[in-house]
Structure 1
Amino acid sequence: MSLLRIDTSIRARGSQSRGAPVVIELWTDLGCPWCYVGKHRLQRAIDRRPDADRFQIKLRSFELNPDAPREPESIESAFTRSHGGNAEAVLSAERRIQGIAQREGLAFSLDRLNANTFDFHRILQHANEQGRGLEFFSNVQDRFFAGELNPFDPNALTRAAGTVGLAVDRVLEVLTGQDYAEAAHSDRREGQELGLSGVPFVVFDRRVAAPGAQSVEVYEQILEQVAPLTTPMGAR
């Protein structure tokens, strides 16, 4: 299946009926800093619209580094182990993204840990099933980047899930088993079939795809293309 890329001619091919719900799928990973920034930019673009409540963000799983160890390590250790280079270069890149995030009002700690995120994605799949996926993901990711939460601690992750209304006993059951593993793998495969090569990757109404962390203004333009507030010239 192929998706349209950002395309200004989308209106000519038909758009959403005025006021109809629009599903926005966001492939993402917990520890990805550009996913963190991109998610907030997308939400701001939605919030600026008078019909913001018609847009539903659905979080989709994409584990960036399936080979990451389960034992947490520093960001610089994780990057240099996977990609080479040196710790100072990693920290320089982190400081650059930190500056971008902070200018947009987002907390960004340089003391975060890194580890395998697959168990987190399995809980995300459970949260999606319960209608709390976006709330769960945002709560954990925002606190993680603020340096307030270690999501690789099963007890901490379970408590965080409980704060958004997920049943703690069920979350513990998922964490100690293999439930939702195939659902997380399926999300990854589906994203790749749609053209995903990295995250964030946003798909609007299964018609327009936007790779990378776009600006708020670009997200606004895509929302207008998919669900126009204004009537195109010549339309009735």
Structure 2
Amino acid sequence: MRVDIWSDIVCPWCYIGKARFERALAAFEHADEVEVEFHSFRLDPSAPEEPEPLLDALADKYGMSAEQARAADAGARANAEGEGLPFTSERSHANTFDAHRLLHLARDRGLQHEAVDTLFRAYFGEGADVFGRDALVGLAEKAGLDADEARRVLDGRQYADHVEDDTEQARALGATGVPFFVVDERYGVSGAQPADVFAQVLEKAWEEKE
């Protein structure tokens, strides 16, 4: 059975939703027969390439006050910590296009899950740079990718079409935001749902498949 997940590397609810889904999958009787693939979806394609403080970016994008931006991030932090995930508010915000291109390289090299984990943990757990070329090359190497190959990809335009195609596919499926999960090409689950919701969908999809 196949599960497709659309997410953005700087989306806290994608980080949380991934953990909740994985908790459900770990308890699923047929987990070893489930193939999971991540797809690109940029929440803010117009974000600048140069990083800016996250809370400033939230306030500007959504018309929030500084206090509202802090409260929104605190809510995400509470949910992340409830899943046992490291989470810092000392993060920057910028365009994630190159990070997504890197994830497509990782998929082709059989290291997509390692790369997704590495980027999420670096960004949310450490407040690390996941935007600059040098930073991304270092993270790619940490995930098991060849640093020289990662740099060649990031210095060019390789996988740019893959990122755009993923987004168009998500929109064609009716996704307006992420995380967005599609189980067995039939059941869509939107948002960072509780683990038991994912468990129910996995069971239902498996029973109907059988």
Give the TM-score normalised by the residue count of structure 2: 0.95
Higher helix share: 2
* Aligned twin of 1:177: 156
Match of 1:216 among 170, 195, 200: 195
Please state whether the residue corresponding to 2:126 is helix, strand or coil: coil
* Aligned twin of 1:29: 8
C-alpha distance after superposition, 1:92-137 (max 9, x if no partner): 1111111111122111101011100001111111111112112201
Q: Conserved in 1, the CA contact under 8 Å of 2:53 and 2:92?
A: yes
Percent of aligned positions that are identical: 36
Mapped to 1, the partners of 2:36 and 2:154 lie a distance apart of: 25
Which structure is larger by alpha-carbon Rg, 1 or 2? 1
* Aligned twin of 2:134: 155
Question: Which consecutive unaligned segments of at least 5 residues does structure 2 have?
Answer: none
Where does 1:1-236 land on structure 2 (aligned, <5 Å)? 22-147=1-126, 149-228=128-207
Residue 148 of structure 1: how far off its partner (Å): 5.2
Q: Give the superposed CA RMSD.
A: 1.4
Amino acid aligned to 1:71: E
Amino acid aligned to 1:199: V
Please state whether the residue corresponding to 1:27 is helix, strand or coil: strand
Question: Which consecutive unaligned segments of at least 5 residues does structure 1 have?
Answer: 1-21, 232-236
Please state whether the residue corresponding to 1:227 is helix, strand or coil: helix
Q: Conserved in 1, the CA contact under 8 Å of 2:122 and 2:130?
A: no
How many residues are aligned here?
209
Runs of 4+ in structure 1 deviating by more than 3 angstroms, as ranges, are none
C-alpha distance after superposition, 1:144-175 (max 9, x if no partner): 10125311232221111112221111110111
Give the TM-score normalised by the residue count of structure 1: 0.85
